[in-house]
Amino acid sequence: MPSFQPQTKINAQPTDALVVFCSDHRFRAGIEEFLNQGLRLNENYDLLVIPGGPQCLTLVEYLPKFSWAGWRWFRFLVEAHDLKQLILVAHQDCGWYKDLPLHLHDSQEPRKRQEQDLRKAQKSLAKEFPDLNIQSYYAEYDAEGRINVEALES
Ligand SMILES: [Zn+2]
Q: pTM of this prediction?
A: 0.93
Residue 118 CA to ligand 1 centre (angstroms): 13
Residue 107 CA to ligand 1 centre (angstroms): 18
| Predicted confidence (pLDDT) at residue 154 exceeds the cutoff of 70 | no
Q: Quote the CA–CA distance of 151 and 76 in Å, as a whole number.
A: 26
Give the chain's domains with CATH numbers: 17-151 (3.40.1050.10)
Residue 3 CA to ligand 1 centre (angstroms): 32
Which whole number is the average pLDDT over 38-66? 89
Residue 5 CA to ligand 1 centre (angstroms): 31
Amino acid, res. 90: A
Q: Are 123 and 116 in contact (CB under 8 A)?
A: no
Measured from the Cβ of residue 4, the count of other Cβ atoms closer than 10 Å reads 5
Q: Quote the CA–CA distance of 24 and 22 in Å, as a whole number.
A: 6
